[in-house]
Amino acid sequence: MQVEHARKVSTPLMGHQEDRTLSYACWSSMIGGMGISIREAQRQFGAGVAFLNTATYGLPPLAAHEAMLAAERDRAAGLMVPTELDEAVARSRAAFARLLGVPAARVACGPQASYFVGLVAASLPRGAVVLVADGDFTSLLFPFAARRGVVVRSVPLERIAEAVRADVDVVAVSAVQSSDGRIAPLEELIAAARGHGARILLDVTQAAGWLPVPAAAVDWLVCSGYKWLMGPRGTCFFTGTEEALAGLSALAAGWYAGEDVWDSIYGLPLRLAADARRFDISPAWQCWAGHAPALELLAGVGVAAVHDHDVALARRFQAGLGLPPGDSAIVSVPVPDGTADALRRDGVIASVRAGRLRCSFHLSTTEDDVDRALAALSAHLAVGSGGSGR
Ligand SMILES: Cc1ncc(COP(=O)(O)O)c(C=O)c1O
């Protein structure tokens, strides 16, 4: 399927007009994997529990886990070579770019989403209006709310596209809500933003890796790496169009933002990388060592295959609970207090968000995990309702 949408794009914030072809062919669903099957990939995981908690943190594939530990062992042995770990950052950047369908030269690597969101917030003039979704993740909201003179307008996610008006400068929204897995109406939002000359900052922390996302059709995109991209905490990616990136200052640049990193460790003049690396933050080395193999595994399986796998398991879970099928890899269900703890005692790991049980289904998850979760849940609910469960 190839759908081309060409619209006149107006970007008054930067006093700039351009023609841009929004090509949904760039959505990462179109980017095939490299032939690694789900079954093969699943041999890469070693958790002894039914892990339904990727929306909190991702399980590392064994090769990724081992690479991180190896880097740390090298450090303890005094044998770590920092320059060699630059390769892990470069490999991660390349694999993320491939996964999202954007050029690696437009991908910056840093530690956390809020840092990159802060760069966008800092670029906004006084009086700028930022539209957000009610209850979105605070790393996407606080940097704007903390910026003096910026007006943050919050609306229900379902109404975000229609809330884009001529006075909106930026729409900042998560592609998938952390609290309950709802998916943002991205096509409508992109059309509305283009129609009114607003920019979009899309947070794909809860989406990239399982949901095809329109990376090439938004202005900026941020993705923390420790959930669906299965990295350790401490890795994050940021990308955008050339023109939108050009509107940001490299406010927290250090030596790793230099054109030649190891020639940028002392003294002026400022010599930033010409590409998106100018927004890089010096890497937590072990984290990047542990992320590269995980990203390469995901890219090898491909987002389309992971999507089908994850959503099929989510639907199996929903069917087991008598719920209608959804489209998300995150399922949120109302349960009595204490349910997550009871499940944990039964070896089923999920979390509680917004007062509901949040279960997430990813590459490592099997049908057995789903069935184990359903059995544990029904046993717990039967006990709670005075039934004869365990
Ligand atoms: C949508 C979203 N963005 C960002 C983050 C993490 O933010 P940070 O990298 O600033 O810790 C999360 C974590 O749950 C999230 O769900």
What is d(CA 232, CA 248) in angstroms, rounded to the nearest whole number? 27
Cis peptide bond upstream of 143, omega within 30: no
List pLDDT tens digits, range 349-390: 999 998 899 999 999 999 999 999 999 999 988 876 654 333
What is d(CA 207, CA 346) in angstroms, rounded to the nearest whole number? 28
Is the pLDDT at 157 greater than 50? The verdict is yes
List pLDDT tens digits, range 378-387: 998 887 665 4
Report the residue among 54, 109, 116, 139 best suited for mutation to probe ligand 1: largest number of ligand atoms under 8 A from its CB. 139
List pLDDT tens digits, range 303-356: 999 999 999 999 999 999 999 999 999 999 999 999 999 999 999 999 999 889
DSSP 136-184: --HHHHHHHHTSTT-EEEEE-GGGTTTT--TT--EEEEESB-TTT-PBP
Q: How far is CA 137 from CA 147, 215, 312, in A?
A: 17, 19, 26
Residues contacting 375, CB < 8 A, separation 6+: none
State the pLDDT at residue 252: 96
Q: Are strands 236-240 and 107-110 parallel, antiparallel or unpaired?
A: antiparallel
269 CA from centroid of ligand 1 (Å): 35
218 CA from centroid of ligand 1 (Å): 19
Ligand 1 pocket residue status of 310, Cβ below 6 Å: no
Longest dimension (CA), the chain: 74
- Provide the angle, in degrees to the nearest 10, between the axes of the packed helices 82-100 and 62-76: 160
Ligand 1 pocket residue status of 114, Cβ below 6 Å: yes
Give the whole-number percent of the chain exceeding pLDDT 90: 88
The token pair that represents 234 in the structure block: 């401490």
Ligand 1 pocket residue status of 139, Cβ below 6 Å: yes
Is the pLDDT at 164 greater than 70? The verdict is yes
What is d(CA 54, CA 47) in angstroms, rounded to the nearest whole number? 13
Q: Are strands 199-203 and 170-174 parallel, antiparallel or unpaired?
A: parallel
List pLDDT tens digits, range 234-276: 999 999 999 999 999 999 999 999 999 999 999 999 999 999 9
224 CA from centroid of ligand 1 (Å): 6
Cis peptide bond upstream of 61, omega within 30: no
- What is the pTM assigned to this prediction? 0.91
Question: What phi and psi, each to the nearest 5 degrees, are found at residue 256?
Answer: -75, -10
Is the pLDDT at 19 greater than 60? The verdict is no
Report the residue among 116, 176, 206 best suited for mutation to probe ligand 1: largest number of ligand atoms under 8 A from its CB. 206
State the pLDDT at residue 28: 42
The token pair that represents 282 in the structure block: 């010096």
